[in-house]
Structure 1
Amino acid sequence: MIQKTAIFHLFLLSNFAILDLATANSNSNSNIKLTVVVDGIRNHKGQICLRVYNNEQGFPFTDTSEVQSGCVQIQGNSIKKDFYGLKAGTYAVAVVDDQNEDYKLNRNFLGIPQEGFGVSNNPTISIKTGVPKFQDASFSLKKNKTINIAIKYSLDP
């Protein structure tokens, strides 16, 4: 009888421990805030559009594979945008100074951007380096974090 009671108590304790671990993981993994500050805005009309990606698929141009996105009306030389409810993981952010408010980076017939642009980690972007890769722009997000992105208006270094 004592042995059955002890086994039952161990069973209950192990289930509560598993439940506590699961609750702790779900709470800490899905409520992270990412704040993105974009500096160096030259224009005073239009909007800054931001896309948050959690893998290389579609980065940095596709607007169907991002985790979250949003635009902020330009009101000065910098803007700030908060993204809520992110899970712990690896992310990259792409930014466009969307002057004509069409929600995309306009490029000329050679593919050269005609609007300001930037990505997280501010890697060198030039004709020589080409489109930035997810791995060059990605960062680890484990808790609330603020990142800064410097917007560029040409492909010169």
Structure 2
Amino acid sequence: MLNKLTLFSLFLCSNLAVFNLATANPKSTLKLTVIVDGIRSQKGQICLRIYGDERGFPLSDISEVKSDCVKIQGSSAKKEFDGLKPGTYAVAVIDDQNGDYKLNRDFLGIPQEGFGISKNPTVSMLKGIPKFQEASFSLKNSITIKINMKYSLDPSN
């Protein structure tokens, strides 16, 4: 009887120790807050996609780490993403006016909806789509980034 009680006590203590180790460092994951400014219309939604590397950035979900859409309220939107690991990320945003969860483009590839990219790189017909390296940032602590919406390939907007 004593052996069963001793084994049970050891089992209980070891489980409590494992539980304490798992919850001892609540900052092992980070929060990324994204603020999107310059939204022109109240119609539709703002869709955000976080990328963990260059594969598919910014038009495909191949290296997507997290994504979500938020309803538009005013000329800015805010979204918090929890549970990210330290690393290098980039964010792509679209003003999804028709609810299809993608950036609609014309036959030449010119965006027909608003878009934005982390670090707000210059976008033009000559330069093309920004690369992951131009938009990526290091996430070592929980941070807030701001992305300015663009509604054409004119870098002045």
The alignment's TM-score, normalised by the length of structure 2, stands at 0.82
Q: Which runs of 5+ in 1 are unaligned?
A: 1-18
Distance 1:114 1:80 in 2: 23
- Structure 1 residue 129: deviation in Å? 1.1
2:55/2:62 contact within 8 Å kept: no
Paired position in structure 1 for 2:103: 105
Distance 2:62 2:132 in 1: 16
- Which one-letter code corresponds to 2:35 in the other structure? V
- Structure 1 residue 138: deviation in Å? 0.2
Paired position in structure 1 for 2:149: 151
Runs of 4+ aligned structure 1 residues displaced above 3 Å come to 26-29
2:103/2:111 contact within 8 Å kept: yes
Paired position in structure 1 for 2:56: 58
**Percentage identity across paired residues of the two chains:** 67
Distance 2:61 2:70 in 1: 16
Determine if the alignment matches structure 1 residue 45 to structure 2 residue 38: no
Q: Which runs of 5+ in 2 are unaligned?
A: 1-17
Distance 1:27 1:90 in 2: 20
Look up the SS of the partner of 1:105 in the other structure: coil
Look up the SS of the partner of 1:124 in the other structure: coil
Paired position in structure 2 for 1:136: 134
**CA offset digits 1:8-47 (Å, max 9, x no partner):** xxxxxxxxxxx9xx979x7544x10000000000011100
Distance 1:116 1:108 in 2: 13
Look up the SS of the partner of 2:151 in the other structure: coil
Paired position in structure 1 for 2:89: 91
- Structure 1 residue 63: deviation in Å? 2.5
Paired position in structure 1 for 2:3: none
Distance 1:60 1:110 in 2: 17
Distance 2:95 2:101 in 1: 9
Look up the SS of the partner of 1:67 in the other structure: strand
